[in-house]
Chains A and B, each alone.
Chain A
Amino acid sequence: EAGVAQSPRYKIIEKRQSVAFWCNPISGHATLYWYQQILGQGPKLLIQFQNNGVVDDSQLPKDRFSAERLKGVDSTLKIQPAKLEDSAVYLCASNLIGGLAGNEQFFGPGTRLTVL
């Protein structure tokens, strides 16, 4: 079975520019997560979707970050405008039913963003 796909793998932009990341979860996985992993830290949840609805976006900086999952499959995470501190790896993960606690989350390879 295909894993979680993410693109692009790397992105370099200047501050105040916009950027978008794409994620295609494993087929049939209802729950999708976006995590931000700053160098030297563990991943931190940005937003969690259940199908195409938002379950938790309490840690998403909504003044500059937005995310959508319109058809309950693919998802896009956008940053506008980017700041230097947004430099990080953005990880997408998915799992099966309802984000059950015991359900393993499957992670994509991530998008490494560098903001200059």
Chain B
Amino acid sequence: AQSVTQLDSQVPVFEEAPVELRCNYSSSVSVYLFWYVQYPNQGLQLLLKYLSGSTLVKGINGFEAEFNKSQTSFHLRKPSVHISDTAEYFCAVTSDTGRRALTFGSGTRLQVQP
């Protein structure tokens, strides 16, 4: 079984500042990792995913994340945020064996202030 912990429920940040949203996971098998974004009253949209290879993954809207196997982390970063980045961000994990549905963290609300 896998689990995901998003350490921050809310992250307030000023526009054009950098941001990091933290995600740690637990699994007894190899994992695949995802970040999704959810805007108000919308479904989830994939930002980026790590399957294998380079541990630094670039996604849409200028976001990137780094997979750290030793620390079981997959933190999401953006060097300069915009007001439009205000949304809920979910980290998720799945494995290549057994059940393949996603296990989600509880989410981090990113609030970008002018």
What residues make up the interface of A, taking CB atoms closer than 8 Å to B?
A: 4, 33, 40-45, 48, 55-56, 58, 91, 93, 99-102, 104-105, 107-110
Contacts and interface: CB of A to CB of B under 8 A. Distances in A.
Interface of B: 4, 6, 9, 32, 36, 41-46, 49, 51, 90, 92, 94-96, 99-107
Contacts of B4: 42
A110 B43 contact: yes
A40 B106 contact: yes
Nearest to A6: B43
Contacts of B95: 101
A41 B46 CA distance: 18
Main DSSP-derived SS at the A contact region: loop
A103 to B, nearest CB: 8
Contacts of B104: 42-44
Given A41-B107, A42-B107, A99 B101 contact: yes
A27 to B, nearest CB: 17
B44 A43 contact: yes
Given A43-B90, A91-B43, A107-B45, A99 B100 contact: yes
B99 A109 contact: no
A102 B49 contact: yes
